[in-house]
Amino acid sequence: MKAVVATGYGQPEEFQVAEVPVPRPGPGQIQVRIAAASINPTDVVLPGGAYRGSVELEFPHVPGNDFAGTVTEVGPGVTAFAVGDEIFGAAVPRAMRAIASKTRPSLSTGAFAEYAVFEADAPVLAHRPPGLDAADAAALATAGMTALPLIGKAKLKEGQTALVIGATGGVGTALVPLLAAAGVHVIATATEADVELLRGLGAAEVIGYGDAYPQDVDTVFNLVLKADRIAPAVEAVRPGGKLLSIVYPPAEPVRDDIEQEFVLDLDGEFGDMSDVAELAVSGALTATISRRYTLDEGREACVAFVREHTAGKVVITT
């Protein structure tokens, strides 16, 4: 089969589109014919060697976490899915088993391929409803499963304020509409080119990346800042407020009058992929896709994701 492949640690410019063996499912696993996949930072950071030492890859390595496709084969013991089912979800490479869910890990052989194998019993896999396009489903998988716990942890009320730092990414473009629908006053960071997009998603205010953050914000959502750059975001939170971050490794708390938490919901405590599907069909969760590539253009898609500014998600279709 055809797949995007990293043959060793390196940058996405070194990825190739090559022929690799079709993976086969074992007990508790399913094989899926991939229709669409979307790019996440892990897909390019991991082969780049950033986590080398804690996560060692075997090469050739096929990246790709988020996907939508059709079940083509089921392994022994699988009851949740059958051949012909349209499904979507998210799964990390098998090399990341140590940091996956301890109870129902979602692991795969890599979604930037014609076929991939996934663990069937995982909260981040679900049937794709007819009203949800395959590309949209792939774009919403990790973004939706990240936005839901952020909303759940924040517990914001109508009229309160939220600062979303990194609002134009996949998670940000899923999070902003959910906050706006709850009556939250959303302040989003973005480039000038993305102001119209974010206002359309429900942001009440849009500020530049270099602008000073507002003060006394009820909840700050940090979607992009690393620990050495997070101090201004911390200072923006009102006493008794919250700073919720999805950036790994998490920053150490520096204020004792706010809640500061790294949010990662591997077990779907705040909603599983079926909830993402339901919200997407209802229109509450919307997919923002800025660029689409074919599998043959998979290397170029990964390069563009890293080297160029993109709003929302970059999707690879097969």
Label residue 310 by pLDDT band (50, 70, 90): confident
Residue 197 confidence (pLDDT)? 96
Are residue 102 and residue 189 in the same domain, yes or no?
A: no
Q: Please indicate, yes or no, whether residues 21 and 111 belong to a single structural domain of this protein.
A: yes
Residues near 254 by Cβ (< 8 Å), separated by ≥ 6? Answer: 231, 234, 260
Q: Return the percentage of the chain with pLDDT > 70, whole number.
A: 100
Average pLDDT, the chain: 95
Q: Which amino acid is at 147?
A: A
For the chain, report the end-to-end CA distance as a whole number of angstroms. 11
164 shares a domain with 113: no
Q: Do 133 and 215 belong to one domain?
A: no
pLDDT at position 146 over 90: yes
What is the per-residue pLDDT for 33?
A: 98
Q: Whose CA is closest to 172, among 143, 197, 199, 211? A: 143
Residues 148 and 137 in one domain: no
Same domain, 210 and 285: no
Assign residue 44 the CATH number of its domain. Answer: 3.90.180.10
Shortest CA distance to 150 belongs to which of 170, 175, 129?
175
DSSP E strands, the chain: 2-5, 16-19, 29-38, 66-74, 86-90, 92-93, 107-108, 115-119, 125-127, 161-165, 185-189, 205-207, 217-222, 237-245, 259-262, 289-294, 313-317
Where residue 147 falls among pLDDT bands split at 50, 70, 90? Answer: very high
pTM of the model: 0.94
Distances (CA, A) of 258 to 209, 240, 243, 244: 23, 5, 7, 10
Contact 172, 41 (CB under 8 A): no
Q: Render pLDDT for 267-300 as a digit per residue (tens, 0 to 9).
A: 889 999 999 999 999 999 989 999 999 999 999 9
Which three-class secondary structure string do you get for 86-126?
EEEEECEEHHHHHHCCCCCCCEECCCCECEEEEECCCCCEE
In a domain, 273, yes or no: no
Report if residue 272 sits inside a domain.
no
Give the closest residue to 12 by CA, choosing from 311, 299, 317, 239.
299
Q: Which phi-psi region, left, alpha or beta, contains residue 210 (left: φ > 0; alpha: ψ -120 to 50)?
A: alpha
Write the DSSP symbol of residue 78: -
- Report the distance separating Cα 33 and Cα 67, nearest Å: 10
- pLDDT tens digits, one per residue of 61-81: 999 999 999 999 999 999 999
Structure tokens at 204: 């009440």
Q: Is residue 34 part of a domain?
A: yes
Instruction: For residue 7, give the DSSP letter.
Output: -
Q: Which domain holds residue 197?
A: 144-262
Residues 241 and 196 reside in one and the same domain: yes
pLDDT at residue 309 in the model: 87
Rounded CA separation 15/296 (Å) = 12
- Measure CA 53 to chain center: 23
Separation of alpha carbons 49 and 69, rounded Å: 29
Cα–Cα distance list, 136 to 130, 197, 313 (Å): 12, 17, 9
Answer whether 234's CB lies under 8 Å from 244's CB. no
Tell me how far apart the alpha carbons of residues 206 and 167 are, in angstroms, rounded to a whole number: 9
Flag whether 213 is in a domain: yes
What is the model's pLDDT at position 249?
A: 85
Domain co-membership, 118 together with 74: yes
What domain count does the chain have? Answer: 2
Report the percent of the chain where pLDDT is more than 90: 89
pLDDT 10s digits, 194-245:
999 999 999 999 999 889 999 999 999 999 999 999 999 999 999 999 999 9
Which CA distances in Å does 51 have to 6, 99, 221, 226? 15, 12, 24, 15
pLDDT at 243: 98
Whether 81 and 170 map to the same domain: the answer is no
Phi/psi of residue 4, nearest 5 degrees: -80, 130
258 in the same domain as 154: yes
Give the residue with greater pLDDT, 97 vs 163.
163
pLDDT band for position 266 (cuts 50, 70, 90): confident
pLDDT confidence bin for 98, thresholds 50/70/90: confident
Confidence of residue 248 (pLDDT cuts 50, 70, 90): confident
Say yes or no to pLDDT of 102 above 90.
no
Rg value, the chain, Cα = 19
> Is the pLDDT score of 54 beyond 90?
no
CATH number for the domain that contains residue 165: 3.40.50.720
